[in-house]
Amino acid sequence: MTASLSSARADLHPLLDVPLLRDHIHPERELWTPRELRDLTSLVAGELTTPLLEVLQFDASQRWWARLGLTEGVELWLLSWLPGQGTEPHDHGGAAGSFTVLTGELAEDYRYPGGPVRSATREVGAAIGFGSGRAHQVLNKGLLPASSVHAYSPPLVPTREYASLADIPDEIPPLPAQRLPLDRLRVLADQEGP
């Protein structure tokens, strides 16, 4: 499903294996900041819309996703959301993350430890980058399908789910990151999804 860059240090979805993404996926970068992740998801959603729409699918039985890119430092995903589809409240286990809305509109409730639960509506083009100490829940509350581009660093850190955002602890400790070579990360990404 993915094509390897000539350096064999990054996998890209065949429809996204284009110079623009190859120039911005930075296989040598071990960790990405929230701002770098936001810049990446914004770039991909804004500049690669046509190939993303060719990849995009919707599934009424569950949220759908496709891996767009993977390096030892970052994972990049395309997710779709039919009306009513969403996540449980969760954190990203200590990974930094970002998402940019490609189509439609998404509601996000989020909380930093010790802080209040906040809500935001994310419309097409809206991008948010976040650090490791943040939990959130994303939902398509609208009447139309939505889609979004997501990135996480380090890749494949497990998420933790909560009964509600009020249940997140005063501190979100990082889960152990699996600092693995790309070939091993690829196998895990294919098994787990975002």
List, for residues 104-133, the tens digit of each pLDDT value: 999 999 999 889 999 999 999 999 999 988
How confident is the model at residue 7, as a pLDDT? 44
Q: Distance between CA 70 and CA 78 in Å, rounded?
A: 12
How confident is the model at residue 27, as a pLDDT? 92
Token pair 């998404």 in the structure block, residue: 106
DSSP 8-class letter at 109:
E
Q: What are the domain boundaries of the chain?
A: 11-192
How confident is the model at residue 187, as a pLDDT? 74
Token pair 């993915």 in the structure block, residue: 2
- Sequence-ordered list of residues with C-beta below 8 angstroms from that of 151, at least 6 positions apart, any chain: 32, 37, 40, 41, 74, 75, 76, 77, 97, 98, 99
How confident is the model at residue 175, as a pLDDT? 73
CB atoms within 10 A of CB 31: 14
CATH of 11-192, one of 1.10.10.10, 3.40.50.300, 2.60.120.10, 3.40.50.12590: 2.60.120.10
Q: Distance between CA 190 and CA 188 in Å, rounded?
A: 5
Q: Which of 70, 140, 155 is nearest to 107 (CA)?
A: 140
How confident is the model at residue 96, as a pLDDT? 95
Question: Coil, helix or strand for 86?
Answer: strand
DSSP 8-class letter at 96:
E
Mean pLDDT for each 10-residue chunk of the chain (194 residues)?
A: 50 95 93 97 98 98 95 96 97 94 98 94 98 94 97 91 92 71 72 66
